[in-house]
Structure 1
Amino acid sequence: MKLLPLSKEIRRSFSLKLAMPAMAFVCAFAVGTSAHAADVASTGQVHILRTQVPEIVSSGGAAVTGALAASQHLKLALNLPLRNEDELDSVLQQLYDPQSPGYHKYLSVQEFTDRFGPTQQDYDTVVAWAKANGFTVVKTTANRRLVDVEGSVDTINRALHMQLATYHHLSENRNFYAPNREPTVDLGVPLLKITGLTDVNPRVNHLIHGNAQQHANALKHANGSGPSGEYLPSDMRAAYYGSGSLTGAGQTVAIFSYDGYYSSDVALYYSQTGMSSSVPVNNVLVNGYSGVCDAGDGSGTSPCDDGEQVLDIVNVIGMAPGLTQVLFYEGSSATDILNQMATDNTAKVISSSWGGGDFGSADDPIYKQFAAQGQTFLNATGDSGAYNSQTWAAPSLDPNILDVGGTDLNTTGPGGAWSSETGWSGSSGGYYKAAGYSIPAYQKTAGVITTTNKGSTTLRNDPDVSAEANFDNPTVSNGSFETGYGGTSFAAPRWAGLLALANQQSVAAGNGTVGFVNTKLYTLGLGSTYHSLLHDVTSGSNPPQAGSGSGFKAVAGFDLVTGWGSPIGAAFINALTTP
């Protein structure tokens, strides 16, 4: 699938202007201690949920075309905020401080819920409110963070004191639905967000089929085992790990997906490349999702486009061929998928190559739960160059995830060692104020942000690391083996497989899984052994492919095209897993 430039509303909206008159409420106090508490205001027992109206609506960039049919049914997720977030932040610091007695003493789902989840009383209150207002409660969650409900549009409008309207996007010539004003909830406990009230944000994967010229240019630097020298997963293991004995044995990796796939397409990939795998791929259908393979955007339309899903599976396994299993999570809601990954707590490494949809800042509590439980969440940054209003998509830039950019790799030959690497022009990175994330502590350390890399000293910067993503990779889609694909969609699962190798080694040494690696990664990047642990990519740039800005250049050390670079196999794993 070709990735189209992303529209402005995919980023988190902070505008409080409304396209239609809204009920006026005096904001008596901010609810909770979360960084997102400003999104909720309250007067007495009535809560106003901020930033639920998309910016494209509040700014006048969309025209009202009517009301959403009152009889139509929608699935919503009522998100409750965490408790005691200051304490949680302290716990997370201790979990990843080798000098702390709490180092890598991760919490179970129950322990996390008891200490930081909503109270049982608050959760029961939300469930009771939903039922009293005509919703069907579809699912409750073990961490008490989500109440999944279903109801008619009429039920939703009445319960939330707003109307779901249909809109036409004036600049992108497409239609969507959204609230006409910020919802209000007659509820005595706070809600962080209600997911599912709009479909304004297209779901996009970070996979591109290069044109003939892009493909030809990429093949000039490709020395892989595939057709015309394209790279296969086995080439990635050879280049980024080498001939070591780690296989990911005993480990489970999860893959996030908005879409299903054909298992026959995975089998076709292996038969066409001469590769094989005995790793079970087990599907997890979230919240009633059908698992149907569609056009690659979660729309349910034909024909099937599962090139993204296939490449995710084979590249994770290619790097870690001895995994216990791959769990393939499929669903229509990012929030539901992420939360189930956290409450299942089976996979300790999670890879996502999707953006848009209902990804947003309200998912940050889930990323913190991942970190508290020793889970690593990796995210492909995108393929549209440097971030701006048209090229950034959530969840990129969240400080509690590992963001993976792209490179152009050259090896010594088929199945050969790493030879050289440059920054890939499509590698999304940089910083973006409207994403809403301040610079995290691990990027504040002297030497990370410099005048040379031109990073922000106040905002979160991307990417953290990178891997091969040029137009010299094959995949299979709808029964067809195809070449000439690229995108950070390839980079994220490759890093995910490598971290599964690290987990195998770390667990065997009695140190638990590596979990949230960013703090350790940046420490290694600033250390004297950096160049023996990671390939420092110092050439290439990422001009934005839409919107404004000139992009960034890859430079020595950390940069906003490739982050700290790509891994040097066993040396990096040894350093990452040593307390």
Structure 2
Amino acid sequence: MKLLPDSSVNRKNIVLKKSVAALLFASALTLGFAAQATDTLVGANHLLNANLPAAVSSGLAAHAGVMDQTKSMKLGLILPLRNEAELDSLLLQLRDPQSPNYHHYLSSAEFTERFGATQKDYDAVVAWATSNGLTVTQTTPNRRIVDVQGSVDTINRALHVQLGNYRHPTENRIFFAPDREPTLDLAVPLLDITGLTNVNPPKNHLVHGSDLQHMQAIKATHGSGPSGEYLPSDMRAAYYGSGSLTGAGQTVAIFSYDGYKSSDVTLYYSKTGMKSSVPVKNVLVNGYSGVCDAGDGSGTSTCDDGEQVLDIVNVIGMAPGLQQVLFYEGTSAGDILNQMATDNIAKVISSSWGGGDFGSSDDAIYKQFAAQGQTFLNATGDDGAYNSSTWLPPSLDPNILDVGGTDLTTTGPGGAWSSETGWSGSSGGYYSKAGYSTPTYQKLSGVITSTNKASSTYRNDPDVAAEANYDNPTVSNGSFETGFGGTSFAAPRWAGLLALANQQSVAAGKGTLGFVNTKIYNLGVGSSYKSQFHDITSGNNKPDEGSGSGFNAVAGFDLVTGWGSPQGAALINALTQ
């Protein structure tokens, strides 16, 4: 089958107005942030992305006092890509089977040379930081981020802001943020600065069902775990079967805002009777300690690592012969993603987190992943259809594969796929304030229909889905627990499956799959779709919070399950053709 390549690489609907003489910085809404006019020095440089939370600019968040001026903070100064139009053209060629550049991926060094900031600009940012009293804590090989540290007072003076505490308008908590958009006395443009606000705390997409939800989930579940719950080995049997692919020679990376206890992974295997010989190597990013805490960076003795454990065991469960799993841990999404790109070891990357400092500036890293043959998978969330209460970045970025959730039934423990419906918590839909227009791969005939109610203006989610109901166990803080669900389970399962596909593709001399969305959507509208995906046609994702009735799973693409779940060998064969 001839694939239809993108006619253009999707870009966000962001309109930037930037002038030395102007004091008004306009930006499309991204991450729920809004721009405002600021009093600043003539000649100051505005960021290309907005940093001011909408709750602050609108006045909805009441000021709750100034921050301690001596408090030390870590920031990431992010430089924009260079020659981005050329990069977008290259990305189209890399995914077009008719192009001589098809799957001829770049190394990290090659990407930096062609598309990274110049050494002169990068050095200028370093010099600006040090001259303004900031300590440079890390520089990056791709000249993308300059990590710095300084007191609140130093940051206020360097960025011409006043960092303060604010009362969240809808949640019972205090967050910090600047009072205006930062401006810098710097001739070199900056794309973004991370670390200036914690308005969106990191959130994983793991949920514990109520007793009723658990009981309802396990009624039809036929897994090999306690009470018939599903184990990773059941997922391999249901979605791949008895084939010979194991992920041999492949590396999968896992993104995490927190550490884990290796003893909890060991406990999971001992409680379930599963075994694994796949080495898991921890990568501590930008000085992160790796200490597992309550999941909030507090360093408390309680280790809430249920998310981290399930990510590891589910990736390995689908691909039990992996060469290794790299577990990247840190406090900044920008730093973690950037190191994954510059390391360029893992060709499949799974993330089950949202919020934190994930933002629109990360789109540049997703493009670097694609240029290097790396696939980034993201769990969409567990709160139903997107609205202002349920959407969290990086969901809806057009350069990642977004994974929703389903409710799976198998023929028995370790058995084959039997039936599947859309899971009620599966986050999906579209959200104008995310800032992403409909990508070309979603404009193929048959994707957006009156039946599925997808948007022809904005990016739609999810792309695919997998089991995520409240019928999965995990281990947290030394305790084996049941009744968990969430798209946190779906993303690593798909990641493991794509590692199998990479094994087959590499063996055939075709390289790794890289950015797979274009191919998945071409398969979705193709004549063999129902032999490659389980088309899920029932279920609804009415949001848990906010407004909206949600969307229904329907034949073909929908905003609950995307194209559905994988029919292992057939889908792998199609992806690697």
Q: TM-score, normalised by structure 1?
A: 0.93
Residue identity matched to 1:434: K
Offset from partner CA, 1:246-278 (integer Å, 9 cap, x none): 000000000000000000000000000000101
The answer on 1:26 being equivalent to 2:25 is no
Equivalent-residue separation in structure 1 for 2:220 and 2:538 (angstroms):
14
Residue matched to 1:464: 463
How much has 1:198 moved relative to structure 2?
Answer: 0.9
Alignment of 1:275-286 (within 5 A): 275-286=274-285
Alignment of 1:53-132 (within 5 A): 53-132=52-131
Bigger mean CA deviation after superposition, 166-175 or 518-527: 166-175
Residue matched to 2:3: none
The answer to whether the Cα contact below 8 Å between 1:222 and 1:230 also exists between their aligned partners in 2 is yes
The answer to whether the Cα contact below 8 Å between 1:255 and 1:328 also exists between their aligned partners in 2 is yes
Equivalent-residue separation in structure 2 for 1:349 and 1:325 (angstroms):
12
Residue identity matched to 1:503: N
How much has 1:304 moved relative to structure 2?
Answer: 1.1
The answer on 1:431 being equivalent to 2:430 is yes
How much has 1:59 moved relative to structure 2?
Answer: 1.4
Residue matched to 2:311: 312
Residue identity matched to 1:26: A
Equivalent-residue separation in structure 2 for 1:171 and 1:233 (angstroms):
38
Residue identity matched to 2:434: A
Equivalent-residue separation in structure 1 for 2:200 and 2:35 (angstroms):
19
Bigger mean CA deviation after superposition, 201-210 or 59-68: 59-68
Residue matched to 1:166: 165
Equivalent-residue separation in structure 1 for 2:93 and 2:192 (angstroms):
29
Residue matched to 1:255: 254
How much has 1:48 moved relative to structure 2?
Answer: 1.7
Equivalent-residue separation in structure 2 for 1:556 and 1:13 (angstroms):
30
Equivalent-residue separation in structure 2 for 1:437 and 1:60 (angstroms):
26
Residue matched to 2:4: none
How much has 1:13 moved relative to structure 2?
Answer: 13
Equivalent-residue separation in structure 1 for 2:69 and 2:382 (angstroms):
39
Residue identity matched to 1:404: V
Equivalent-residue separation in structure 2 for 1:449 and 1:177 (angstroms):
40
Alignment of 1:433-448 (within 5 A): 433-448=432-447
The answer to whether the Cα contact below 8 Å between 1:427 and 1:562 also exists between their aligned partners in 2 is yes
Task: Provide structure 1 residue ranges, at least 5 long, that are not aligned to the other structure.
Answer: 1-11, 17-23, 32-37
Alignment of 1:475-514 (within 5 A): 475-514=474-513
Residue matched to 1:139: 138
How much has 1:64 moved relative to structure 2?
Answer: 1.1
Residue matched to 1:270: 269
Residue matched to 2:44: 46
How much has 1:27 moved relative to structure 2?
Answer: 5.5
Offset from partner CA, 1:374-415 (integer Å, 9 cap, x none): 000000000000000000000000000000000000000000
Equivalent-residue separation in structure 2 for 1:213 and 1:498 (angstroms):
31
Residues 30/539 of structure 1: CA separation in 2 closer, same or farther (3 Å cut): closer
Equivalent-residue separation in structure 2 for 1:561 and 1:210 (angstroms):
19
Offset from partner CA, 1:490-527 (integer Å, 9 cap, x none): 00000000000000000010000000000000000000
Equivalent-residue separation in structure 1 for 2:447 and 2:97 (angstroms):
21
Residue identity matched to 2:22: V
Residue matched to 1:19: none
Offset from partner CA, 1:61-102 (integer Å, 9 cap, x none): 211121111111111100000011111110000000000000
Residues 40/330 of structure 1: CA separation in 2 closer, same or farther (3 Å cut): farther
Equivalent-residue separation in structure 2 for 1:107 and 1:426 (angstroms):
38
The answer to whether the Cα contact below 8 Å between 1:203 and 1:298 also exists between their aligned partners in 2 is no
Task: Provide structure 2 residue ranges, at least 5 long, that are not aligned to the other structure.
Answer: 1-11, 28-33
Equivalent-residue separation in structure 2 for 1:411 and 1:113 (angstroms):
47
The answer to whether the Cα contact below 8 Å between 2:448 and 2:455 also exists between their aligned partners in 1 is yes
Residue matched to 1:339: 338
Q: Secondary structure at the match of 2:341?
A: helix
The answer to whether the Cα contact below 8 Å between 1:28 and 1:43 also exists between their aligned partners in 2 is no
Query: Percent identity at matched positions?
Result: 76
The answer to whether the Cα contact below 8 Å between 2:15 and 2:26 also exists between their aligned partners in 1 is no
Alignment of 1:557-572 (within 5 A): 557-572=556-571
Residues 45/124 of structure 1: CA separation in 2 closer, same or farther (3 Å cut): farther
Equivalent-residue separation in structure 2 for 1:90 and 1:28 (angstroms):
32
Offset from partner CA, 1:221-255 (integer Å, 9 cap, x none): 20000001100000000000000000000000000
How much has 1:60 moved relative to structure 2?
Answer: 1.5
How much has 1:303 moved relative to structure 2?
Answer: 1.4
The answer on 1:196 being equivalent to 2:195 is yes
Residue matched to 1:184: 183
The answer to whether the Cα contact below 8 Å between 1:410 and 1:418 also exists between their aligned partners in 2 is yes
Residue matched to 2:7: none
Residues 196/15 of structure 1: CA separation in 2 closer, same or farther (3 Å cut): farther
Residue identity matched to 1:226: G
Equivalent-residue separation in structure 2 for 1:29 and 1:424 (angstroms):
41
Offset from partner CA, 1:141-190 (integer Å, 9 cap, x none): 11101001111111101111111111111321201111011111000110
The answer to whether the Cα contact below 8 Å between 1:110 and 1:143 also exists between their aligned partners in 2 is yes
Residues 43/512 of structure 1: CA separation in 2 closer, same or farther (3 Å cut): farther
How much has 1:192 moved relative to structure 2?
Answer: 0.4
How much has 1:25 moved relative to structure 2?
Answer: 5.9
How much has 1:297 moved relative to structure 2?
Answer: 3.3
How much has 1:301 moved relative to structure 2?
Answer: 3.4
Equivalent-residue separation in structure 1 for 2:410 and 2:41 (angstroms):
62
Q: Secondary structure at the match of 1:540?
A: coil
Residue identity matched to 1:243: S
Residue matched to 2:229: 230
Q: Secondary structure at the match of 2:85?
A: helix
Q: Secondary structure at the match of 1:114?
A: helix
Residue identity matched to 2:270: S
Equivalent-residue separation in structure 2 for 1:245 and 1:534 (angstroms):
20
Offset from partner CA, 1:407-452 (integer Å, 9 cap, x none): 0000000000000000000000000000000000000111100000
Equivalent-residue separation in structure 2 for 1:30 and 1:512 (angstroms):
42
Q: TM-score, normalised by structure 2?
A: 0.93
